[in-house]
Structure 1
């Protein structure tokens, strides 16, 4: 409990003790009234103050106003009838405050779950001066500075490791407990915790532009984007509260006057009491509190799993997703090209790979890097001369005095070398040495380990169609789609074509369902923006992802997509349960009160009881780990 909650608990305890004591003290007349007024002020002074401030600022019709009028009216009735029964008004306020304390505790619990994510905020950065470490505010560290991160400390800024190696705990960012190894030359993002060695990092971004800063800003502002359900509750409260106040006036004044007009006993005390009870029952606390709390809890629970949802409107949109469109490279595949096969003639496979790696050593293309990685030995560039890159074809070079050509089928045709087609799926690098065909190397983009399972889980979650968009050749695209179980594949697309394909899919789907596009967030920003909901994969450190997407997954595991949809559907289910349950009970109690069947005790138990049940239900949205 925080300080404010403890103070309220003390007030509740004092009021309860005073009520018990007053039940046994032989007080009468004005002294009895003053004693009960004192007990009432102990528990209700803040409600009276808020009601007064609301009236002054033109916001009279809220729950504080309703509670103040109802409880003060109960005191008035006790004085009017000279019954001396002041317990009812105080008890109504007491139970209301107990409900408010419970609600405050529930919201605090939800906030503490998001606070686990907020723990990634760094307190300081270490800068080395004159052989000593000096702690400075991360905001004061300039781009290009060298900072030192010791074991157990948070990485305060994005950068590149210039010395040292260590293991990082990234669970606050990704929701996964698996550590990540880093060494000299590796990029590193803020928010991770250094677990072992000392690291020296050259910063690449100012603190305001760093990953941790953008994530914190995203989560802190998530509540500003309201869902349709929350907007409905706000509109409902603006109409409902004045309406029930008018209804209470009609019960307490119009009905007795009507009875008098027909010659019957007005029964003012009975009807005014009903009107006051009607006001207590009418408080829309369960709706006003539990609906935003459900969304807050859903967003908080998702954040703990490394799924950042930018607002409750996006959580609601995600729940209605029936079509999921994927970018291929970096989303369903690793986006890292690897040598998967070497087919050779006279030369052995290792020699073919060696010639290819040396010939491509001057290139920074991903294919060149994959060849060098597969070769696995240091590249001696002195062995390579006469390198010539032929655009759209490949490379020719002299390696150890031998003429080497590495490229596609066009290069072989250009050089007049007879080559063999390959039926493997992937990029084919044909090799020729001293004018003779030496074989070919197959390079493929590796499918992520969980991609097939992710597609299966999406279908199990109720997604009716999965589509893959890619710029790859049709044969490669269909091979990957078949392996993963994707329903449709659209290949050989330029970046601009992806937006057009998403437009077509949006036109085909049902108006009541949503289309989600999943991309790497770097070059897919236009498509992420155009879809009903954009989901960025593998967004650790990607500014474009955080800016363009509505949902950001802090690791590159496609299984998180299905989990995000399940979290959203659980949350929306809880919201609907609370709306239906609260409205049914509320209107039933209002009808019973108007008929004179319930008294104020029953009214407050109904009001506080429904609120507590709705809040308990809302808290379930936090439990998302096993979804």
Structure 2
């Protein structure tokens, strides 16, 4: 609890003890009124002041005004205990609500802990702590074990293990070494690192994430906007209704029926009506539900830019995936080596050495598969033939590595291969040695993610890709997506998403999931854009509505489930609060409900709704 909450708790305890003591003391008349005014003012003076300020500023109709009128009215009718109790329990509810909001804010504040306080810059042989804003691009900073990485950059010296849980929600550490890119917000766990900065602090990953989370509350959902408008008209209506309840029935009894008007009884009913009608449960719990949902999602590595996107995500029934970098790793890997006589590792060795001077992704995949340091002294006479491949001499032996056109050009007889992927043929000393199969590999969780999405209520999954149809169809079959569109240019993907948007029911939403690098147009066009693995990607953070902080496809499932849970809680609170209030208002109007039932209808309902809203903070692991 903070200082303000502790002060309120003290006031509540003092007032509660005094009310309990007065209930046991047989005091009547003016002395009773004076004694009950002490706990009433202890617990309610601030509410009375706020109500008076609202009247002076011509902003009369709020919960402070309702509580002030109801409690002062009850005291004027001689119901001292009820009037004080209403104010006491209202303040208990306010304390509870304050604590709940504070807990939700602390949950988001844990994410804010990624903000670095300083950066270490080496000057004159010693480390100097400076404000991260003062570090220019290209500067060398030093990050010691236990410190946060303050600015995005590239490791120039050292190796370490990084804790990225504050960014991704995953506790598994990641290894980093010289030459690797590193993003701000990670915690250096082991070695000393020297990093050459590639961005200014204001443009770094941590700054963009914090800005995104801090501004998420500015984008309101339809449910929040409805509650705001509802409260604006609802409170004056119930005030005038209570006034009518206090005046009209007695007048009818007196003037038309000639009966005792029973003014005190009807005024008491009107005051009970006012307490019941206080809209605290709705006004507090609905924004709190969204706030807690966004906070819980952020701690799980899912950044939602606003409650409106949370609402849209919950209505998603169609999910469209980009293939490369989203369902697949986006990097070529050797999937198989097929040879005539020579051993697998020998073919890989000759192919990797022949390709050692090329920066092509296929060349890099061959070198990674070889797994050893390339000895360039063994290679000579390298010639790269555009669109065909590479020829070279390795250990004095002629080697050719490339596609079928290269084999035909060199007059080497080769075997046709019908496997899906990129086929790299290898000829050694003029004879065909075999071929190497290279493909973009599916992410380990891609198939599970598609299956879990269908369990979560997604009606159809679609895959868009620029790959040839044969490769696309195999990827679709392995992942289990329902439809696939292949050989698409970036502009074609936008067109295809627009076609899908036109065909679906307008009330059902379509989400597009991309890797955030070249998918910005499609992310913007879909009902909701989800950028996956978007650490450090400006395009993703700007264009997407939801940003997943790592490249695990299961995070898409988590995002959908968090949104659905959040919206279930919102609707539960709306139906529960309105239903109980309508029931109690009817009971109050006919004289069945008293002040104690009114206290439950106001404070009790608010406490239950807030407790329910807090559930949105907790995210289950898949």
Deviation digits for residues 561-605 of structure 1 (CA, Å, limit 9, x no counterpart)? 112111111111111111111111100111111111111222112
Q: CA deviation at 1:513?
A: 1.1
Question: How far 1:111 sits from its partner (Å)?
Answer: 1.6
Alpha-carbon shift at residue 321 of structure 1 (Å): 1.2
Deviation, 1:417, is 4.3
Matches of 1:25 and 1:581, distance apart in 2: 39
Partner of 2:43: 43
The offset of 1:156, in angstroms, is 1.2
Structure 2 residue corresponding to 1:107, chosen from 98, 101, 105: 101
Partner residue in 2 for 1:510: 505
Work out whether residues 290 and 618 of structure 1, in 8 Å CA contact, stay in contact via their aligned partners in 2. Answer: yes
Aligned length: 621
Distance 1:244 1:427 in 2: 72
Cα distance in 1 for residues equivalent to 2:512 and 2:505: 16
The separation in 1 between residues aligned to 2:196 and 2:131, in whole angstroms, is 16
Once the 2 structures are TM-superposed, how far is the Cα of residue 23 of structure 1 from its aligned partner?
A: 4.3
Per the normalisation by structure 2, the TM-score is 0.95
Alignment-derived partner of residue 183 in structure 2: 189
Q: Which residue of 2 aligns with 1:82?
A: none
SS of alignment partner, residue 550 of structure 2: coil
Shift of 1:202: 1.2
Partner of 1:16: 16
CA displacement at 1:448 relative to structure 2: 1.1
Q: Distance in 2 between matches of 1:151 and 1:618?
A: 39
Give CA deviations for 1:524-571 in whole Å, capped at 9, x if unaligned: 111111111111111222222222111111111111111211111111
Aligned partners of 1:477 and 1:135: how far apart in 2? 52
Secondary structure at the aligned position of 2:156 is classed as: strand
The question of whether the paired residues in 2 share the 8 Å contact of 1:278 and 1:594 is answered with yes
CA contact (8 A) 1:407 1:429 kept: yes
Q: What is residue 590 of structure 1 aligned with on the other side? A: 585
CA deviation map 1:490-524 (0-9, x unaligned)? 11111111111111211222222111111101111
1:239 alignment counterpart: 233
1:133 paired residue number: 127
How far 1:110 moved relative to its partner? 1.6
Secondary structure at the aligned position of 2:138 is classed as coil
Partner deviation per Cα, 1:250-270 (whole Å, 9 max, x = no partner): 111233223332133222211
User: Structure 2 stretches of 5 or more lacking a match?
Assistant: none
Q: Is the 8 A contact 1:167 1:180 kept in 2?
A: yes
Aligned to 1:522: 517
Deviation at 1:410, TM superposition (A): 3.4
Q: Which residue of 1 aligns with 2:436?
A: 441
Paired residue secondary structure (1:133): strand
Task: Tell which deviates more after alignment, 261-270 or 591-600.
Answer: 261-270
- 1:372 corresponds, among 342, 347, 367, to 367
SS of 2:151's equivalent in the other structure is coil
Corresponding residue number in structure 2 for 1:3: 3
Per-residue CA deviations over 1:440-496 (Å, capped at 9, x if unaligned) read 221111111111111111111111111111111111111111111111111111111
Return the offset for 1:400.
4.8
Partner of 1:467: 462
Pick from 292, 309, 312: which aligns with 1:314? 309
1:425 is aligned to 2:420? yes
Distance in 2, matches of 1:14 and 1:44, equals 12
SS in 2 for 1:522: coil
Deviates further, 524-533 or 424-433: 424-433
| Aligned residues: CA RMSD | 2.0
Secondary structure of 2:619 counterpart: coil
The one of 551, 554, 557 equivalent to 1:559 is: 554
Cα distance in 2 for partners of 1:9, 1:492 equals: 66
**Contact 1:305/1:625 (<8 A) preserved:** no
Per the TM alignment, residue 101 of structure 1 is displaced from its structure 2 partner at its CA by 0.7
Residue in 2 aligned with 1:81?
A: none
SS in 1 for 2:77: helix
Q: In structure 2, how many angstroms separate the alpha carbons of the residues matched to 1:172 and 1:341? A: 38
Alpha-carbon distance between aligned partners in 2 of 1:53 and 1:219, rounded to the nearest angstrom: 33
Q: TM-score, normalised by structure 1?
A: 0.94
- Which stretches in structure 1 are left out of the alignment for 5+ residues? 79-84
Aligned to 1:65: 65
Q: Please give the per-residue CA displacement for 1:209-260, whole angstroms capped at 9, x wherever unaligned.
A: 1111111111111111111111111121112111111101111123322333
Q: Distance in 2 between matches of 1:432 and 1:116?
A: 58
The CA distance in 1 between the partners of 2:126 and 2:249, in whole Å, is 83
1:485 and 1:274 map into 2 onto residues whose CA distance is: 63
Paired residue for 1:227?
221
SS of the equivalent of 1:339 reads strand
